[in-house]
Structure 1
């Protein structure tokens, strides 16, 4: 069975041709785990600070979740932008492939008391550490929820061939 991110519709669904197959597999596993916990996610969601969340979603209570996927140690250790995601979510998670050395995420600079940890493969995932909740201000939550909902609708319209991609403002 093909991942929802492994198709010719990858770009229409917000994916990118340059996303590694390992990252796509981790994203799929995380999406399946989160769906069982009533958290629906979208891949590669642009934020207003010009960053792009690997996965962003909303749970049944309206809390916003962001997941940063890392499949290479150098990428994890060299990432100094991830804290810029915290202003756009109630909960933040790292997602790593099975077998990846997660020990660097215990360092203080990775805020282990705040950031959750998920280990995933193509088929499923396990939440190793739950993320702490840091509630967004109501106004910020409304803006981010609306942006995420509109992005989901844009992608659905593109996937159903209702729109041409040049008609969509992806900011």
Structure 2
């Protein structure tokens, strides 16, 4: 994909997903864990752990985000991903931190772990798998929208 077509936050998400794949995480960008929420990177690890990473490209992008605390109930760990020029003092200390660029990333601070309830984990893992499969199907078959969710029809 031509990176010139991507927005700054999407470029950060690309680097984050590349890095997390090195840790055996599968990532889906712009995943919707519940109606009204859309995470930048939703990652499922080798032991079923679920991480949410919100990518912020500048101060204004961070200041405009009023939903991030709503993501906490849909993951085991929460992270911010920013570039090396981002003013880090804006980010809450009780969250994880990833420094990223379009090609890679580094986990600087682990977010605290808050384990999901087993029923919620199962529901989210199933949704993750089905959404990822739908997207793959949509990319292979142009007649199918990769972002359609039959439950919303």
Q: Are 1:82 and 2:68 matched, yes or no? A: yes
Q: How many residues align?
A: 151
TM-score (norm 2): 0.89
- 2:146 and 2:123 mapped to 1: Cα distance? 24
Using the alignment, how far apart are the partners of 2:61 and 2:116 within structure 1?
28
> Cα distance, 1:80 vs. partner?
2.2
Aligned equivalent of 1:10? none
Partner Cα separation in structure 2 for residue 99 and residue 150 of structure 1:
36
Runs of 4+ in 1 over 3 A off after TM superposition: none
1: CA distance between counterparts of 2:99 and 2:115? 24
Structure 1 residues 166 and 158, CA, compared in 2 at 3 Å: closer, same or farther? closer
1:133 aligns with 2:113: yes
Q: Is 1:118–1:129's contact at 8 Å kept on the other side of the alignment?
A: yes
Maintained 8 Å contact 2:136/2:146: no
TM-score, normalization: structure 1? 0.80
CA distance in 1, matches of 2:146, 2:107: 38
For residue 24 of structure 1, report the CA deviation from its aligned partner: 1.8
**Quick one: higher RCO (CA 8 Å, sep 6+), 1 or 2?**
1
CA distance in 2 between counterparts of 1:100 and 1:165 reads 35
Structure 1 unmatched ranges of 5 or more: 8-16
CA contact under 8 A between 2:135 and 2:146: conserved in structure 1?
no
SS in 1 for 2:127: helix
Asked if 1 retains the 8 angstrom alpha-carbon contact of 2:13 and 2:55, the reply is: yes
Cα offset, 1:81, TM superposition: 1.3
**1:49-89 deviation line (CA, Å, top 9, x unaligned):** 41100110100010111111111202212322100000100
Taking the TM superposition and a 5 Å limit, the aligned residue runs for 1:1-20 are 2=1, 6=3, 20=7
SS of aligned partner of 1:132: coil
Change over 3 Å in CA distance of 1:131–1:157 after alignment to 2: same
Q: Are 1:57 and 2:37 counterparts?
A: no
Could you tell me which runs of 5 or more consecutive residues in structure 2 were left unpaired when the two chains were aligned.
Answer: none
SS state of the match for residue 74, structure 1? helix
